[in-house]
Structures are given as C-alpha cells and as structure tokens.
C-alpha cells in the first residue's frame, strides 16, 4: 500500500462506539474506503466511559489494519455532536482538506445533521453507514428519541471555547502526523 499523497484533500472520521462489534464494522468500512481512495488522514473519535480504560479512539487505532495513512485521535468526544466539533480543529490543522467522509452505523440518523456545520468551512461531508448487525430497530429508536434535542446539542458543541479561534475558510498549518485533543478534565490539572 502506498503512503497517502501529500496533495490529498480528503480525510475520514470514524465515530467511536462502546461496542467492540460496532467499532469493528466501522473499521472494516473505513479500511475499504481507504483502499478505494487514500485519504490524507483517518481520525478516530470517541472517549472512554470507564476511567483508566482506553478510549474508543485508542481501541480503534489498536485494531486499525496497519494501512499507511496517518491516524489522528480525538479522545475527548462524548457524543456525536462532540465528535463533529472536536474533529473540526484537527481537520483544519491538517490544511488543504476539502472532503470529509464520516463513518458510522446505519442507525445513526443524526450524524449528517450534526456534521452539517462543516459546510460553512468549505468542507464537503459524505456520511457512510455500515450495517448495524441486527440491532437496527432498537438503535434507530434510540436515535429517534434524541432528534428533538439535536439542534441544541449541535449548537452547544460548536460554540465550545476551543472552536472560537477558528474562522470559516482560514487554514492552520499542519505540523505533524499525530494530533490529540485533551479532555476538559486534563485542562484543570
């Protein structure tokens, strides 16, 4: 496998999940997408709900099939709106990105809406869904119960202090291959 071309304008964001089976299905879809078109980077996004255990993003990085593409981790996101808001500064820091592919599960009905603010930064977002593996109705019902609050959740996530420095269509230079956002509790220490 060839390394990612410097001129690639594409990045893949893989959303975390507490379930190892769900994460594995998302990783398989992401790997398939990488083989089809090499992105500039793959961002794994998700926190750990259990203190002292690896985050969802670290677990995904550990199971990534060793493709020659930089892996970037967001370990601080607690929900899908956070995934979108916290991945945005990473994507902007890379520079030159125009296309973002979000990998999630087929029941994740809110994902396209929660990533829509990327358009104001000149980013085209494509959400790719993997199969849920038999839990579609239960998971979709859980998603539908949260639809009424998705606007306020997205607004809160995208108004976070760490995003105030970003202005739409302003680039930040990318200095390395590994970017990690810190959890809010780490900021206090």
pLDDT at residue 108 in the model: 76
> Which token pair is 45?
């996004």
DSSP string over 68-101: SS-EEEE----SHHHHHHHHHHHHHHH-S--EEE
Report the C-alpha gap between 146 and 98 in whole angstroms.
30
Report the C-alpha gap between 105 and 32 in whole angstroms.
15
Q: What is the pLDDT along the chain (189 residues), one digit of tens a residue?
A: 555 445 689 999 999 988 898 899 999 999 999 999 999 999 999 988 888 889 999 999 999 987 789 999 999 888 888 999 999 999 999 999 999 999 998 877 788 989 999 998 899 999 999 887 767 666 666 665 666 677 777 777 777 666 655 544 433 333 333 344 444 444 444
pLDDT at residue 144 in the model: 59
Q: What angle, rounded to 10 degrees, do the helices at 20-36 and 56-63 form?
A: 50
Report the C-alpha gap between 36 and 88 in whole angstroms.
23
pLDDT at residue 126 in the model: 96
Would you give the distance in Å from CA 72 to the centre of its chain?
10
How many CB atoms lie under 10 A from the CB of residue 47?
21
DSSP string over 19-30: -HHHHHHHHHHH
pLDDT at residue 18 in the model: 87
Report the C-alpha gap between 95 and 129 in whole angstroms.
26
pLDDT at residue 1 in the model: 54
In this prediction the pTM is: 0.78
Give me the count of residues in the chain: 189
pLDDT at residue 78 in the model: 86
Query: Taking a C-beta distance cutoff of 8 angstroms, is the pair 35, 2 a contact?
Result: no
DSSP percent split of the chain into helix, strand, coil, nearest 5 = 40, 15, 40
Query: What DSSP designation does 109 have?
Result: T
């Amino acid at each position: 496998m060839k390394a990612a071309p410097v001129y690639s304008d594409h990045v893949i964001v893989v959303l975390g999940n507490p379930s190892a089976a769900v994460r594995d299905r998302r990783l398989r879809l992401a790997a398939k997408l990488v083989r089809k078109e090499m992105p500039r980077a793959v961002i794994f996004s998700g926190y750990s709900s259990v203190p002292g255990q690896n985050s969802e993003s670290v677990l995904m990085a550990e199971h990534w099939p060793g493709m020659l593409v930089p892996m970037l981790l967001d370990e601080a996101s607690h929900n899908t709106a956070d995934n979108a808001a916290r991945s945005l500064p990473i994507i902007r820091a890379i520079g030159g990105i125009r296309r973002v592919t979000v990998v999630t599960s087929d029941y994740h009905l809110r994902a396209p809406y929660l990533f829509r603010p990327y358009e104001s930064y000149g980013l085209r977002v494509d959400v790719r869904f993997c199969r849920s593996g038999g839990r579609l109705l239960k998971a979709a019902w859980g998603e539908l119960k949260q639809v009424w609050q998705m606007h306020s959740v997205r607004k809160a996530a995208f108004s976070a202090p760490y995003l105030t420095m970003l202005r739409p269509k302003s680039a930040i230079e990318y200095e390395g291959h590994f970017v990690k956002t810190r959890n809010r509790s780490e900021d206090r220490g």
